[in-house]
């Protein structure tokens, strides 16, 4: 018994056959048409930023938001704020109940919330005057991205700020892994 296959064209121009009922085939059929900032534009966002608010930050050391927060605190010059109404402190720093409670408007609102929560976070970011909403890797809400852009926000979606920061600053390979390469090149902030 043979299974039906779909022929897909990859970004590099090559084609391959995959089982039509596979998770990959379903993902490729999801019709993502929204395109966010280019790598050069993301680098400019990261270079210009002085502060990052992590919405959905967790004090649980096994959560990706905790790992990203730890990285940003240790490996960047950003002022990092945590937004989680359920806890008072994360990594020894105050956790705020909402973006409106922050002492300043963050340059980047980094979001660790499910896709259906993104429109509410965008509304909150607009209300405080934030300029960039960065939605973490694996989280996608195309309608929210289009809505946010229509309100003047820069939206980065389905990208990890830690991976992007480290990649642009010589700490990671394109795929997000430490290359172990030691270089004398001056790193860019």
Residue 12's pLDDT is: 65
Percent of the chain with pLDDT over 90: 67
Inside any domain, residue 176: no
Residue 171's pLDDT is: 61
Task: Give the global pTM.
Answer: 0.76
Domain encompassing residue 55: 39-168
Strand duo 108-111 + 154-156: pairing: unpaired
Cα dist. 20→9, 10, 14, 75, 186 in Å?
14, 15, 18, 43, 47
Lowest-pLDDT choice from 12-26, 48-62, 97-111: 12-26
Number of domains in the chain: 1
Rounded to an integer, what distance in angstroms lies between the CA atom of residue 152 and that of residue 126?
Answer: 8
Q: How many helices (H) and strands (E) does the chain have?
A: 6, 9
Give me the mean pLDDT over the 49-71 stretch: 96
Rounded to an integer, what distance in angstroms lies between the CA atom of residue 175 and that of residue 189?
Answer: 20
Cβ(65)–Cβ(46) under 8 Å?
no
In the structure, what pLDDT confidence band is assigned to residue 1 with cuts at 50, 70 and 90? Answer: low
**For the domain that residue 113 is a member of, what is the CATH number?**
3.40.50.720
Inside any domain, residue 32: no
């Amino acid at each position: 018994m043979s299974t039906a296959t779909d022929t897909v064209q990859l970004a590099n121009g090559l084609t391959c056959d995959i089982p039509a009922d596979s998770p990959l085939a379903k993902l490729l059929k999801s019709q993502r048409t929204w395109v966010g900032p280019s790598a050069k534009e993301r680098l400019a966002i990261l270079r210009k930023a002085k502060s990052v608010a992590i919405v959905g930050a967790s004090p649980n050391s096994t959560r990706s938001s905790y790992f990203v927060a730890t990285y940003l605190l240790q490996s960047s010059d950003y002022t990092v704020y945590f937004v989680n109404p359920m806890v008072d402190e994360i990594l020894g720093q105050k956790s705020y109940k909402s973006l409106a409670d922050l002492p300043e408007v963050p340059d980047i609102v980094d979001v660790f919330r499910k896709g259906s929560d993104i429109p509410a976070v965008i509304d909150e970011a607009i209300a405080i005057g934030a300029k960039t909403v960065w939605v973490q890797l694996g989280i996608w809400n195309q309608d929210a991205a289009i809505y946010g852009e229509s309100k003047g926000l820069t939206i980065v979606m389905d990208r990890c700020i830690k991976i992007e920061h480290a990649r642009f600053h010589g700490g990671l390979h394109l795929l997000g892994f430490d290359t172990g390469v030691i270089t004398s090149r001056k790193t860019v902030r």
